[in-house]
């Protein structure tokens, strides 16, 4: 039977197997929490599925009766490949699959079953020729030490220094190395030793190569989540700003949500600004949100404007769009125009302060805020917010509100309209087709009722003209208002509507 070096190698492999096995579990659980959220659920599910798969493996081990060494090596190689590639597979699966869960649980079941199969096999290999009590004691002791090692190494060393992709590759490489060493030491016990050696060596080489490029793979995997190369990414105090570029098309994402695509943003911003200004000679304008300066660019086409106040939460955003040459080319330096005054503040707080200090009112207000996907943003779509808005508009003033997509998020859109009506702002909903967004909705508002606009001002436009203008206010039969309630600060129904609308989108429903 195996000599002392063989036994020592086997005990060392118990340690490696146990350590790597737990690391794969930790990787799966960490990634599940990253990608799917709700970490308590994810951790519980991952641990439960993994442990039960190990139980399955242990039970299956009774069916392995011959060629124990060869089977053990084969199991090692399967773990090395599946476990080693698990993180990168999950990253890419997340980017490309409708739901990453089946992949996650397949990986867990395969690795768990194989790890569960290993320990009984090892006990039987080591135990041939010695007492069961000694074997079990030795093997299980190493097994548990390995678990301790993993739980210390993973958070303290592996994750901070290597990241998920390379950690899983490194563990895979260890598993493969154990397989290679065992193949060599136990070649006498193997039916086809040469083929086994080549196999193990190939897996080792593949994983070593993967480890070498793992860092790049991880970055690539993250980038795959956008549609185009990221040319700028910054985490400000409030949000992550990412800019991608594909040819001439430059796109801004805030926390992963597309804000504009340079190829068609003129449609969005013309539709946002100019219908409101039809028949108005604005002197003072207010822009809430819109830190990209694109709405301001449109406003600056009106020569009578004396002052524009822009209120955007994020100084990182307005700084970026005030300085970056590429972005300044898109907004034509609007944010550095002397008539423009930038205020970095929460729009609700700023408005309340403005009302309290009885400051001067505005002829036009453009509300261009991110969609109401959380309670902080949802506040800026409530009746309380719109009542403040009404107070900062002159009696003959006019405003416009970005109101999500009437096609993709119908309940949200019509909830905004209803809320504006409840705030006595005489809403006039309209929409325009912006290819990168789809059918997009806006609402004209005014403290006093106003007729629907018919003649645009004589400013340079690429998208709108007087013929198109009235059609924007027409909603087809399949886009009539659903039954929704107004959005109040103390219930924020809109945040719930928006979540439900997004969930109902085709292709989104099953995601994750």
Partner 1 sequence: MSPETDDRPARSRLLASPRGPRVKRRGFLGATAGTLATAACGPSTPPPPAIAFVGPDPERSHHLREGTWREGPVHETIHTDVAIVGGGVAGSAAAWRLRRAGLADLHLFELEDEVGGTARGGELPRSRHPLGAHYLPTPPPDCPALERLLTDLGVILGRDAHGRPEYAPSAIAAAPLERHFGRGRWYEGLYPAAGETAEEAAQWARWHAHLRALDGRRGGDGKPLFAIPVARSSAELRHLDAVSFAQHLDELELRSERLRWALDYACRDDYGCTLAQTSAFAGLHHFLARGLEETRGGFLLTWPEGNARLVRGMLERADLGARLHRGAAVVAVDPHAGELRVHCPGDGRRLRVHARSILWAAPRFVLGRLLVGPDPLPVGALTYAPWLVASVEVRNAPRGVGARLAWDNVPLAGSSLGYVVATHGETADERQPGAVLTYYEPLCGDGPAELAAQRQRLLAGDRSHWADHVISALAAMHPGIASEISEVAITRWGHAMIRPVPGLLFGENLALASAPIGRLRPCAADVAGLPLFEEAFYKGSRAALAALADLGRAAPDALADEIFI
Binding-site sequence positions = 239, 269, 292, 312, 346-347
Hey, CA dihedral for 329, 332, 337, 343, is it positive or negative? negative
Q: Does 491 bind partner 1 (CB under 8 A)?
A: yes
Among 332, 346, 473, 479, binds partner 1 (CB under 8 A): 346
Q: Is the separation of the CB atoms in 337 and 258 below 8 Å?
A: no
Nearer to partner 1, 131 or 490 (CB): 490
Residue numbers belonging to the annotated binding site for S-methyl-5'-thioadenosine: 239, 312, 346-347
Nearer to partner 1, 38 or 360 (CB): 38
Nearer to partner 1, 17 or 377 (CB): 377
Hey, CA dihedral for 63, 65, 67, 73, is it positive or negative? positive
Q: Is the separation of the CB atoms in 312 and 392 below 8 Å?
A: no
Nearer to partner 1, 12 or 422 (CB): 422
Rounded distance between C-alpha atoms, residue 41 and residue 446, angstroms:
48
Q: Which residues does residue 438 pair with via DSSP β-bridges, in sequence order?
A: 434
Which listed range, 32-40, 73-81, 110-118, 285-293, lies at the site for partner 1 (CB under 8 A)? Answer: 32-40
Q: Does 499 bind partner 1 (CB under 8 A)?
A: yes
- Backbone Cα Rg of the chain: 31
Which listed range, 129-137, 176-184, 222-230, 470-478, lies at the site for partner 1 (CB under 8 A)? Answer: 222-230
Among 2, 344, 402, 404, binds partner 1 (CB under 8 A): 344
The contact mask relative to partner 1 for 270-309 (x = CB under 8 A, - = no) is: ----------------------------------------
What are the helix and strand counts (H, E) for the chain?
A: 18, 11
Binding to partner 1 (CB under 8 A) within 33-92 occurs at 33-35, 37-41
Q: Does 155 bind partner 1 (CB under 8 A)?
A: yes
Distances (CA, A) of 77 to 58, 181, 377: 18, 12, 50
Nearer to partner 1, 177 or 392 (CB): 392
Q: Is the separation of the CB atoms in 108 and 50 below 8 Å?
A: yes
Binding to partner 1 (CB under 8 A) within 93-152 occurs at 94-95
For 249, counting Cβ atoms within 10 Å of its Cβ (0-12 exposed, 13-18 middle, 19+ buried), the class is middle
Q: Does 474 bind partner 1 (CB under 8 A)?
A: no
Nearer to partner 1, 34 or 473 (CB): 34
Rounded distance between C-alpha atoms, residue 226 and residue 223, angstroms:
6
Q: Which residues does residue 343 pair with via DSSP β-bridges, in sequence order?
A: 311
Per the document, the length of the chain is 512
368 is catalytic: yes
Rounded distance between C-alpha atoms, residue 108 and residue 126, angstroms:
27
Classify strands 284-289 and 307-311 as parallel, antiparallel or unpaired: parallel
The contact mask relative to partner 1 for 234-253 (x = CB under 8 A, - = no) is: -x--x-x-x----------x
**Could you say which of 143, 368, 371, 501 is catalytic?**
368
Q: Does 162 bind partner 1 (CB under 8 A)?
A: no
Residue numbers belonging to the annotated binding site for spermidine: 269, 292
Q: Which parts of 229-381 fold into alpha helices (H)? A: 265-277, 294-299, 315-323, 325-331, 347-356, 375-378
Rounded least distance, CB 508 to partner 1, Å: 8
Rounded least distance, CB 12 to partner 1, Å: 26
Among 56, 74, 81, 502, binds partner 1 (CB under 8 A): 502
The tokens for 117 are 């199969």
Residue 66 C-alpha from the chain's centroid: 49
61 secondary structure, DSSP code:
G
Q: Residue written as tokens 């600004």?
A: 273
State whether residue 246 is helix, strand or coil. Answer: strand
Nearer to partner 1, 55 or 160 (CB): 160
State whether residue 490 is helix, strand or coil. Answer: coil
Residue 139: closest CA among 119, 168, 158? 119
**Residue 58: count of CB within 10 angstroms of its CB:** 17
Binding to partner 1 (CB under 8 A) within 368-387 occurs at 373-376, 378-379, 382, 384-385, 387
Binding site for partner 1 (CB under 8 A): 30, 33-35, 37-41, 94-95, 155-156, 159-160, 163, 222, 225-226, 235, 238, 240, 242, 253, 255-258, 313, 344-346, 348-349, 352, 355-356, 373-376, 378-379, 382, 384-385, 387-388, 391, 424, 488-492, 495-496, 499-500, 502, 511-512
Supply the residues annotated as catalytic: 368
């Amino acid at each position: 039977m195996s000599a002392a070096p063989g036994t020592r190698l086997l005990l060392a492999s118990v340690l490696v197997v146990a350590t790597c096995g737990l690391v794969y579990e930790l990787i799966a659980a960490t990634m599940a929490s990253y990608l799917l959220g709700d970490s308590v659920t994810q951790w519980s599910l991952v641990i439960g599925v993994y442990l039960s798969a190990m139980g399955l493996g242990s039970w299956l081990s009774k069916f392995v009766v011959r060629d124990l060494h060869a089977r053990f090596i084969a199991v090692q190689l399967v773990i090395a490949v599946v476990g080693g590639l698990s993180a990168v597979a999950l990253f890419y699966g997340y980017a490309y699959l409708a739901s990453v869960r089946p992949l996650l649980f397949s990986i867990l079941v395969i690795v768990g079953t194989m790890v569960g199969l290993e320990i009984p096999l090892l006990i039987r290999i080591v135990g041939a020729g010695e007492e069961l009590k000694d074997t079990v004691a030795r093997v299980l002791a190493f097994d548990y030490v390995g678990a301790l090692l993993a739980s210390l190494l993973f958070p303290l060393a592996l994750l901070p220094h290597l990241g998920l992709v390379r950690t899983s590759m490194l563990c895979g490489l260890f598993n493969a190395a154990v397989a290679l060493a065992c193949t060599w030491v136990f070649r006498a016990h193997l039916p086809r030793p040469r083929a086994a050696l080549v196999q193990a060596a190939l897996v080792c080489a593949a994983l070593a190569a993967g480890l070498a490029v793992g860092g790049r793979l991880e970055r690539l995997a993250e980038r795959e989540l956008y549609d185009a190369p990221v040319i700028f990414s910054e985490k400000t105090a409030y949000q992550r700003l990412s800019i991608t570029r594909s040819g001439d098309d430059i796109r801004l994402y805030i926390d992963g949500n597309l804000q504009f695509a340079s190829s068609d943003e003129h449609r969005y911003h013309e539709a946002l600004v100019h219908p409101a200004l039809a028949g108005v000679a604005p002197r003072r304008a207010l822009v809430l949100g819109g830190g990209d300066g694109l709405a301001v660019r449109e406003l600056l086409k009106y020569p009578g404007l004396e002052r524009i106040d822009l209120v955007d939460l994020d100084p990182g955003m307005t700084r970026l769009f005030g300085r970056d040459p590429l972005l300044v080319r898109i907004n034509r330096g609007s944010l550095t125009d002397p008539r423009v005054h930038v205020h970095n503040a929460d729009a609700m707080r700023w408005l309340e302060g403005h009302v309290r200090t009885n400051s001067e009112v505005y002829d036009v207000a453009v509300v261009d805020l991110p969609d109401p996907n959380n309670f902080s943003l949802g506040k800026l779509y409530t009746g309380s917010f719109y009542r403040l808005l009404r107070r900062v508009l002159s009696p003959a003033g006019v405003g416009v509100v970005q109101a999500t997509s009437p096609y993709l998020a119908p309940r949200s859109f019509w909830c905004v309209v209803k809320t504006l009506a409840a705030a006595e702002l005489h809403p006039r909903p309209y929409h325009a087709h912006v290819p990168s967004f789809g059918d997009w909705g806006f609402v004209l508002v005014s403290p006093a009722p106003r007729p629907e606009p018919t003649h645009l001002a004589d400013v340079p436009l690429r998208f709108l003209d007087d013929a198109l203008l009235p059609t924007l206010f027409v909603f087809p039969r399949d886009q009539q208002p659903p039954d929704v309630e107004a959005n109040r600060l103390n219930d924020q129904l809109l945040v719930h509507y928006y979540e439900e609308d997004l969930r109902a989108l085709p292709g989104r429903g099953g995601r994750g």
